[in-house]
Amino acid sequence: MKRESVGMVKTHYYKPPDALILESQEKLENITIAYETYGKLNKEKSNAIMVCHALSGDAHAAGWHEDDRKPGWWDIIIGPGKCLDTEKYFIICSNVLGGCKGTTGPASINKETKEPYGLDFPIITIKDIVNVQKQLIDHLDIKQLFAVIGGSMGGMQVLQWSVSYPDMVRMAIPIATSSYSSPQQIAFNEVGRRAIVSDPSWNKGKYYNLKFPDNGLSLARMIAHITYLSNESMYEKFGRRLQDKDEYGFDLSTDFQVESYLHYQGSSFTKRFDANSYLYITKAIDYFDLTQNGSLADVFKNIKTKFLIISIDSDWLYPTSQSKEILMTLSANDIDINYCEIKSSYGHDAFLIEGGQLNYTIGNFLSDTRVRDVMSHDLIWIRNDESIADAAQLMITEKITHIPVVSDDDRLTGIVTAWDISKAVALNFNKLEEIMTQDVITAWPDDSIEISAQKMRKYNISSLPVVDDTGRVIGIITTDHISTLLAGNH
């Protein structure tokens, strides 16, 4: 299928009513969350995918704003026919807490002082960032995310989501990331921060009505940018070529193309990013350590999420070895896990560039959806010996039309539907056994959703109880759960 754009998009804003208690125990009030969505949320609200951005990203992950010269930052994988297919999924991306693209951060106005927060903004963590995203997901009335995906710092949020809200994340796709910041990563962040705070214009964070610390922020970005590339990609892109000259200048001016490129990257960054946000977000990255309360294995103990871990072979900032650490821990905990190493010369930045490999790997992972990934775990059933009136009452209170009937030892013995109840009224039946269907068509948790859809079509039914190998009902799957997720549905 042709890969297309989501077209023109808009940023939305949500103001959660309650104050946020941060990991530091500080309270933050009057938060605004900037977010974008692409695609449609299905009736069951089971097709939502949360996209988490990296350090310098924002809510604008795909499509176009009116004044854009290029599309959203992950447009290569979000849109009709792409792996985050907006014909199937409802994609949500929000700007992180502490950011400067619409969500509350140090440049926002502190309602108490009527001035930008500056350094009065509290220290935040990846956990806080995820807690803010959770408020948005609650506001959208989504009980469970079909998937959470992100690269670099976005990957840290993915891991945090699966640890903080294990029941809310069906699938997690952390890319080019780590379960803790390494000394080398902290070291690079600290050099960047020093560059900013050493700029006299930084003025202890109070620069919003004055000259901005552009030199410091630009330097911070130049340093960081080097870590996002690989030596090989720098050779490919610049070699030792000179910039606008044929010979060395034998002075301290810019000689090489790579220098000029970094200057450009640094200075253009100052036009789109706030220096204080850079300080706060890099600090949140440094503090990230899922192992802090014991071993990583303990942290991942209760996780039910299915994982796809992706690393990049030329990434030396978040090397494959860090992804493999997560992989080993998850495998030891018997978690359903897939792993892929992207082959690329682009270094860390490859997660924003390698559209072909990302679309293929992520697309296969997401479309390999099993019944257990999407079934409803809210177990509503009725016992054999209960009355038809009880079944009718249960359908009304729970707003459902299909109820599995189970024996005293919890084994499935039948199914009763609203259609059967009307039959009971018309023909004056009294007992559940008289109206329920005993020959129940069921699904296994590991069946693909395609197989379940085929069964439902074949027998003209819209719901299958999901049973384990002892015959006990463990969930239910309906056409509403799966219709938008099926391959070739559009």
Residues that bind ligand SAM (CB under 6 A): 402, 415, 417, 419-420, 437, 440-441, 460-464
> Which CB, 145 or 371, lies closer to ligand SAM?
371
The CA–CA distances, whole Å, from 336 to 47, 304, 309, 314, 379 equal 20, 8, 11, 26, 23
CB atoms within 10 A of CB 318: 27
> Which CB, 144 or 462, lies closer to ligand SAM?
462
Residue type, 439: D
Candidate list 58, 85, 214, 315, residue with the active-site label: 315
Question: What CA–CA distance (Å, rounded) separates 163 from 208?
Answer: 37
> Which CB, 243 or 462, lies closer to ligand SAM?
462
**Residue 391 CB, nearest distance to ligand SAM (Å)?**
11
Find all residues with CB under 8 Å of 51, minimum gap 6, and list them. 61, 74, 78, 84, 91, 92, 93, 149, 150, 154
**Residue 144 CB, nearest distance to ligand SAM (Å)?**
23
Question: What CA–CA distance (Å, rounded) separates 282 from 266?
Answer: 16
> Which CB, 28 or 461, lies closer to ligand SAM?
461
- Structure tokens, 353: 């560039």
**Residue 4 CB, nearest distance to ligand SAM (Å)?**
34
Whether 469 sits among the annotated catalytic residues: the reply is no
> Which CB, 262 or 464, lies closer to ligand SAM?
464
**Residue 456 CB, nearest distance to ligand SAM (Å)?**
7
> Which CB, 70 or 458, lies closer to ligand SAM?
458
**Residue 40 CB, nearest distance to ligand SAM (Å)?**
23
> Which CB, 123 or 440, lies closer to ligand SAM?
440
Candidate list 56, 94, 152, 345, residue with the active-site label: 152
**Residue 439 CB, nearest distance to ligand SAM (Å)?**
6
> Which CB, 174 or 465, lies closer to ligand SAM?
465
Whether 267 sits among the annotated catalytic residues: the reply is no
**Residue 100 CB, nearest distance to ligand SAM (Å)?**
50
**Residue 403 CB, nearest distance to ligand SAM (Å)?**
10
> Which CB, 160 or 463, lies closer to ligand SAM?
463
**Residue 448 CB, nearest distance to ligand SAM (Å)?**
17
Whether 348 sits among the annotated catalytic residues: the reply is yes
Candidate list 85, 314, 323, 348, residue with the active-site label: 348
Find all residues with CB under 8 Å of 65, minimum gap 6, and list them. 8, 9, 10, 11
Q: Sort residue 454 into left (φ over 0), alpha (ψ -120 to 50) or beta.
A: alpha
Q: Which residues are identified as catalytic? A: 152, 315, 348
